[in-house]
Amino acid sequence: MGVELCAAALRRHQRIVDRERRVSIDALTGLPSRAAFNVAMASIRCDQPGAWALFVLDLDNLKIVNDTFGHLAGDALIRTAADRISRAMTPDVTFRLGGDEFAVIIQAADALADLEAAAQRVFRQLEPPALCEGHSVTPRATIGGARRVRAAEARLPRARRHPARRG
C-alpha cells in the first residue's frame, strides 16, 4: 500500500511538472512562453532604473510567408527567427509571446549600455535568408526597445514607420 501511494504521488507530481513545462515553454520554438515572460517581468525589480530593458519584436513578413508558401513555411520562419534572435541576445532571455511577437528582457551590461547596438546584432542575425519548407525567405523584424514595458510596445509603430530601425 505504501509503495503504491508513493508511486501515485510521484506520477501526480510528474503530471504537474509536465503541465507547468507545457505552459512555460512555447511548443513551436522551445523558447520561454508568454506565461514565462509574465512571471519574469513580475520578478524584475522596477525600482532599479537602468538595471534592465526590454525589446519587443514583430516579424514583418510572417503573414506574407503564410499566405504565399503556407503555414508550415511560416512555422519554419518563426523557428528560424526564434533561434537567431536568441543567439543574438545571449545571455539575455528571449521569449515568444505568440504569433509573430517576441520579447527579450535585457539585463546584460553590454546590451544595456547600447540598446541600438543590441538591436543591430538582432538585425544582422536575421539577415541571411532561411530555408522555410523549401522556400528561401529573409526574416524581417521590427524592434521596439525601451527601459519600460509600455514604452517598448509603444515604440513598435514608430519603428515600423522608420525603415532605418528595421531589419
Between vectors from CA 27 to CA 24 and to CA 33, what angle results, nearest 5°?
A: 35
**First-last CA distance in the chain:** 62
Q: Are 58 and 166 in contact (CB under 8 A)?
A: no
Give, to the nearest 10 degrees, the angle between helix 34-43 and helix 2-24: 90
Q: What is the dihedral of CA 38, 42, 44, 49, to 10 degrees?
A: 100
Which alpha helices (H) appear in 44-70, and where do they start and end?
Answer: 62-69
Catalytic: 83? no
Q: Which amino acid, one-letter code, is at 81? A: A
- Of the candidates 26, 58, 92, 100, the residue annotated as catalytic is 100
58: helix, strand or coil:
strand
Task: Give the length of the chain.
Answer: 167
Active site residue ranges: 100
